[in-house]
Amino acid sequence: MNSFRPEQILFEDNHLIGINKRAGQLVQGDKTGDACLADEIKAFLKVKYNKPGNVFCGVIHRLDRPTSGIVMFAKTSKALERMNAQFREKQTDKSYLALVQGKLSKGESIRHDLKKNESKNKSFVVDPGKGKEARLSYKPIKQFDSYTLVEVNLETGRHHQIRCQLAHIGHPLRGDLKYGAKRSNDDGSICLHAAKLEFSHPITKEKLTLEAPLPNTKSWIQ
């Protein structure tokens, strides 16, 4: 069900491949031993281009398993190194769409200190100075009876940052039981989607913008 399909490709050239990840897909292998996108893309590229030997597919960044949206992989080591530097130095612009509980009528910038609890795989808001600074801004896009669709822009990249911060102000993501949602989504997803990514091509330096459509699932359809 969650295996990689070619129609998920948003962008591909000799150096990069961008994927619209579905909720539930792993970006990189973990202790579950489940199939991951990095390995599936390697296998896909090997067949598509009839490549002998090993195929390179470097993980540039990650999304949580229940999150959907844009994920970039590098097809060469040079592209991986340069893209990693862009993400590390915050030279990329990322925006997310989130469906949150309750009604939000205006946008806001929020700041908290977050601390990750490794055993629970969960982040918590802590007193100032006792965690890592987390900043984001959001603005409402559309309101429904019990939910609001918001656009979120990250200024920092902390563990579960969007999930934790929006829950802390009383608006957990739909389906996100870990952070206080009323109920789970039928497909195990949370309503968080990496919708847009702007970056410079690691080789040509061209400015690129990728956009991923929202999942066509009933969790997102009101």
Asked if 65 contacts 33 with a C-beta cutoff of 8 angstroms, the reply is no
Q: Which residues of 116-139 are buried (b: 16+ CB within 10 A; e: fewer)?
A: eeeeeeebebeeeeebbebebbbe
* Burial status of residue 141 (CB atoms within 10 A of its CB: 0-12, 13-18, 19 or more): middle
Q: Give 68's contacts (C-beta < 8 A, 6+ positions apart).
A: 20, 21, 22, 23, 189, 192, 193, 194, 212, 214, 215
Under a CB-based contact definition with an 8 Å cutoff, are residues 217 and 187 in contact? Answer: yes
Residue with tokens 């597919």: 57
The answer to whether residue 64 is catalytic is: yes
3-class DSSP assignment, residue 45: helix
- Given 13, 34, 39, 64, the catalytic residue: 64
- Residue 4 structure tokens: 């990689």
Active site residues: 64
